[in-house]
Structure 1
Amino acid sequence: MKPMPLARVVSSCFAFAWLSIASPAFADDVSFGASQLCGLQSARPDRNAAVQVKTVQGRNGPIGYARFGQGTPLLLITGYRATLGEWNAYFLGALAKHHEVIVFDNRGVGRSTPMAGHYGPGYGIRDMAADAADVIAGLKLARVDVVGWSMGGMIAQQLALDAREKVESLTLIATAPPGPEAVPLTPEVQQVLSSSGADAFPKIMAVLFPADAVADASKCFVGDMFAPRGYKGRPVPDAVADQQNRAMSQWFADSAAADRLRRSPVRTLIIAGANDDVLADANARHLEQMIPRATLDVVADAGHALMFQYPIELAGHIQAFVRYIR
């Protein structure tokens, strides 16, 4: 079943009742309007001194996390070479109006320090999903709605397979399915995302955003990042970036996970950017076909970093989905 785009639907009982008897699933084209990269005046949780990064003990060592907001718990899983500080602060603030938001550092990143010996071949998407499960268990959460972005969307899918009893719903943003049907990153894009140095930032902005949004992204991206007091997550070690690359390569060959996903009962919202140069929206269409209870929305004029390009609209879209399934 397909909820209609947020811009065309009021979140009323009548609308959702209509959706429950609507025709079979198909991809909706969604427009979020003008980019919201600069000039937002809404709340951001990192301006509250009480919002701090703490650690919870996982099987692989300490896991850095931040927790804020009120409502049902929403666990966010971030992507390649990203710390918990790579989330857009206004996006998090909008989500926190209706949810207790939990963001955390993936293994080896920020304040999630792995124990010795965990950079080897066994460190993959499934291991990072186990870390996410440890966050849920360590914070004594019964069930959570899960949002995964990019590589974090891969981790979220694996989490739903391995800890089904903990996952209420999935929202997968700009990500890819497991197995050979996926369209991996091109070597050129991978090289850009792995780059560092003075000239890396403009190249990364150019692959994360559509051409008409790059100028604003370059101006406002860093200032809009989630920056809780006392937290420094950079730089991400090269060994971690290399291992994450290997983990994604393994994911794109994981036919067993693809077969399991075809039997997943978890309600899933898939959100893709129509202009995503990192993970093509063909991945989202494969995911929609793969997951039995999936809804796909393709956002016009959106690149890979949707939560920076449309933080308020994207948060509202996710909130409408989570509220609907509950």
Structure 2
Amino acid sequence: MSAPHRTPRALTLPRLAVTLAAVALGAVACSSGGGHTTSAPSSGPGTRATATATAATTTATTAVSAVVPNSALSGPGAFLGPVRQTPVDGIQIGYRQFGSGPDLIMVMGDTGTMSDWTVDLLSWLGRNYHVTIFDNRGVGYTTDDTSVPDTIPLMADDTVGLIEALDLRYPALLGWSMGGEIGLTVAALHPGAISALVSTGGDLGGSHAINTPPAVAKELNSPETTGPQMMDLLFPADAGTARTAYIEQLGLIPPEKVSNRTLLRQYQAGQAYESFEGTWDKLPDSTVPMLITNGSLDKITPPGNASIITQRAKHAELVAFPDAGHAMLVQDSGRFVSLVTQFTKASGIG
């Protein structure tokens, strides 16, 4: 029997950020030390000061990129540098670049913005990689073309277009939630564009996905859902320290705007992915090494999806985080960064 119909997670991360931003900013303003910093990974990525120093060597890689005025950050997020925009597929994609090493491009989920990545996660990755983060179409600093339907394959095309526009050197791709689904679609439909894939909290779409339980989907998309309720969906009940740290981290970078039109369009993109079989069909032909991660307690993307992906792909390994939920990559950032670093080195990257 097929899994129940899934309501997409299109409203999850942006509403979480908006709901918690005021609380997080208040907490940071009252703190003498800035934000909460979790323990560093065993590989020792270093400090934000080091990331800031490496960011100083990063320059725009294409003449058509333009710096967005007043987009540079101060404080803990200063190492991210300013937002730049470059034309891709008839839209302008907003992105930031920082760090040094082999190229890594990060794809955010369900209308989430660049500001929804945590500073700690980015600073650690910036010690090991030259990182590109960006806003998907219609989100934050990226424009949209509303004359065409928004879909996961279209956002995968955008990602490949940005890789080409910035002349990235065969990057690894890291995607979270819908970003993981975009990454899987890139690996399936454009395998020559990336050197490796790390997907967390995604699925293969179509008839093969294990769908979000209806009660969870309803809570995700309800305007009545509060910040604490959303945190219950992202983190296990006993992960209080991780929840607090995430709230504080969200307050370190000013939130970007997401319009109601974009919320609807990416909701529709998630709906369309439920009937799209292209990622499933083409994934076995991909030669891209893949690291598939998932929290074993993930309420949003059932962890069985990670097993389905791993069995379907020829070059995939699965790592489950036993005590983590959908936000496992921020709940246990240290272990996650170390895992990503080890995986890309084993794949001959860096």
Q: Do these two structures clear the TM 0.5 threshold for a shared fold by scoring above it?
A: yes
* Aligned mate of 1:66, from 96, 100, 103: 96
Native 8 Å contact 2:107 2:182 kept in 1:
yes
* Aligned mate of 2:249, from 198, 201, 224: 224
Q: 1:31: which partner in 2?
A: none
Decide whether aligned partners of structure 1 residues 50 and 155 sit closer, same or farther in structure 2, where only a CA change above 3 A counts.
closer
Q: How big is the shift at 1:277?
A: 0.3
2:137 partner letter:
R
Once residues 161 and 281 of structure 2 are traced to their aligned partners in structure 1, the CA distance between those partners, rounded to angstroms, is 25
Q: How big is the shift at 1:251?
A: 1.9
Find the residue that maps to 2:85 and give its secondary structure. Answer: strand
Once residues 187 and 60 of structure 1 are traced to their aligned partners in structure 2, the CA distance between those partners, rounded to angstroms, is 36
2:205 partner letter:
P
Q: 2:134: which partner in 1?
A: 104
Deviations 1:57-102 (A, max 9, x none): 1113111111000000000001013111111211111111110011
Native 8 Å contact 2:80 2:97 kept in 1:
no
Once residues 271 and 284 of structure 1 are traced to their aligned partners in structure 2, the CA distance between those partners, rounded to angstroms, is 7
* Aligned mate of 1:88, from 118, 125, 140: 118
Once residues 108 and 194 of structure 1 are traced to their aligned partners in structure 2, the CA distance between those partners, rounded to angstroms, is 19
Please give the TM-score of this superposition, normalised by the length of structure 2.
Answer: 0.75
Decide whether aligned partners of structure 1 residues 157 and 111 sit closer, same or farther in structure 2, where only a CA change above 3 A counts.
same
Q: 1:27: which partner in 2?
A: none
Decide whether aligned partners of structure 1 residues 127 and 143 sit closer, same or farther in structure 2, where only a CA change above 3 A counts.
same
Q: 1:261: which partner in 2?
A: 283
Find the residue that maps to 2:248 and give its secondary structure. Answer: coil
Once residues 98 and 185 of structure 1 are traced to their aligned partners in structure 2, the CA distance between those partners, rounded to angstroms, is 34
Structure 2 alignment gaps of length 5 or more: 1-34, 41-46, 52-75
Structure 1 alignment gaps of length 5 or more: 1-36
1:86 partner letter:
D
1:145 partner letter:
A
* Aligned mate of 2:165, from 138, 153, 156: 138
Q: Does 1:290 align with 2:317?
A: no
Once residues 260 and 127 of structure 2 are traced to their aligned partners in structure 1, the CA distance between those partners, rounded to angstroms, is 36
Q: Does 1:189 align with 2:232?
A: no
* Aligned mate of 2:294, from 256, 263, 272: 272
Please give the TM-score of this superposition, normalised by the length of structure 1.
Answer: 0.80
Find the residue that maps to 1:224 and give its secondary structure. Answer: helix
Decide whether aligned partners of structure 1 residues 165 and 39 sit closer, same or farther in structure 2, where only a CA change above 3 A counts.
closer
Find the residue that maps to 1:210 and give its secondary structure. Answer: coil
Native 8 Å contact 1:194 1:241 kept in 2:
no
Q: Does 1:212 align with 2:238?
A: yes
Once residues 83 and 217 of structure 2 are traced to their aligned partners in structure 1, the CA distance between those partners, rounded to angstroms, is 29
* Aligned mate of 1:48, from 56, 78, 90: 78
Once residues 208 and 151 of structure 1 are traced to their aligned partners in structure 2, the CA distance between those partners, rounded to angstroms, is 14
Percent identity between matched residues is: 27
Find the residue that maps to 2:231 and give its secondary structure. Answer: helix
Native 8 Å contact 1:62 1:112 kept in 2:
yes
Find the residue that maps to 1:222 and give its secondary structure. Answer: helix
Structure 1 segments of 4 or more deviating over 6 A?
none
2:90 partner letter:
N
Between the two proteins, the alignment pairs up a number of residues equal to 282
Decide whether aligned partners of structure 1 residues 179 and 115 sit closer, same or farther in structure 2, where only a CA change above 3 A counts.
closer
Find the residue that maps to 1:136 and give its secondary structure. Answer: helix
More helix by share: 2
Decide whether aligned partners of structure 1 residues 195 and 277 sit closer, same or farther in structure 2, where only a CA change above 3 A counts.
same
Q: How big is the shift at 1:163?
A: 2.4
Native 8 Å contact 2:234 2:327 kept in 1:
yes
